[in-house]
Amino acid sequence: AQTVTQSQPEMSVQEAETVTLSCTYDTSENNYYLFWYKQPPSRQMILVIRQEAYKQQNATENRFSVNFQKAAKSFSLKISDSQLGDTAMYFCAFMKPHSGAGSYQLTFGKGTKLSVIP
Amino acid sequence: GAVVSQHPSRVICKSGTSVKIECRSLDFQATTMFWYRQFPKQSLMLMATSNEGSKATYEQGVEKDKFLINHASLTLSTLTVTSAHPEDSSFYICSARDAGAGTSGGAPEQFFGPGTRLTVL
């Protein structure tokens, strides 16, 4: 079974600064997908960024980028130029490839509560 | 982006009654939908995987007779909490996988509903 670990329960960052959220995972799979989801106070889950394990290039989406280290099984999220609207819970998630039992299921970490301070 | 709706958004019921929660994919077909449960300040825990036209697959520890799942069409899955008790009070979230997504090799995204807050008195 896969496990996802987020070791930072809470973090804070000054507006306009940069913050990095850590995530590690454990799997015996070689092909898989990794995601970062944001859950603001409204509790709507919002996809922030995704990474295919077979791609060496780190994914980027505007102010959000990841540092994917496959050998170390690490998938950290960097938020640049933090904005007040980035305040939310952030969940790292792992998805198995599309075959076999549990395919397409998401396994979530426990989350990191990020507060952006004005 | 794809939209998933849930109804109701909030429900309060008496202990012993049953509650049905609907999850709909509004602009895409979803052969697979997932039901999660989230307690306050905790992560999402997968309860079951719902496949259109077949029985749901429940995660270990989830009572299939208590949490009835029906996925009768490609756009609708329902979760019925039978004989609800206060310990069933939680936030229930569904997600749906676009049947046509992921075929190009990209990461298959799940689209989440806004959630249903269930309070059992």
Is the pLDDT at A83 greater than 90, yes or no? yes
Contact yes or no for A104 and B114 at CB 8 A:
no
Q: Which positions in chain B have a beta carbon within 8 angstroms of at least one beta carbon in chain A? A: 32, 34, 38, 42-46, 49, 91, 93, 95, 97, 102, 105-110, 112, 114-115
Is the pLDDT at A103 greater than 90, yes or no? no
Q: Alpha-carbon distance B15 to B87, whole Å?
A: 10
- Residues with Cβ < 8 Å from A109, sequence gap 6 or more? A4, A5, A6, A23, A91, A92, A93, B43
User: What HEC string does A76-100 produce?
Assistant: EEEECCCCHHHCEEEEEEEECCCCC
Closest CA to B57 of B28, B77, B87, B27: B77
The model's pLDDT over B1-56, given as tens digits with 9 standing for 90+, comes to 689 999 999 999 999 999 999 999 998 888 889 999 999 989 999 999 998 888 89
Contact yes or no for A107 and B114 at CB 8 A:
no
Q: Alpha-carbon distance B24 to B94, whole Å?
A: 9
Q: What is the pLDDT of residue B83?
A: 96
CA B87 to chain centre: 18
Residue B60 is classified by DSSP as T
User: What does the pLDDT average to over A41-57?
Assistant: 94
Q: What is the pLDDT of residue A96?
A: 83
Q: Alpha-carbon distance B33 to B30, whole Å?
A: 7
Quote the Cα angle for B26-B20-A96, to 5°: 60
Contact yes or no for B115 and A111 at CB 8 A:
no
Please give the C-alpha separations between residue B93 and each of A20, A28, A117, B7, in angstroms, as whole numbers.
Answer: 27, 28, 29, 11
Please provide residue B87's backbone torsions phi and psi, each rounded to the nearest 5 degrees.
-70, -10
Contact yes or no for A45 and B46 at CB 8 A:
no
Cβ(A65)–Cβ(A51) under 8 Å? no
The model's pLDDT over B52-107, given as tens digits with 9 standing for 90+, comes to 888 899 999 999 999 999 998 999 999 999 999 999 999 999 999 876 665 555 66
Is the pLDDT at A63 greater than 60, yes or no? yes
Q: How far is B21 from chain A (nearest CA, A)?
A: 16
What is the DSSP track for B21-56?
A: EEEEESSS--SEEEEEEE-TTS-EEEEEEEETTS--
Q: How far is B117 from chain A (nearest CA, A)?
A: 10
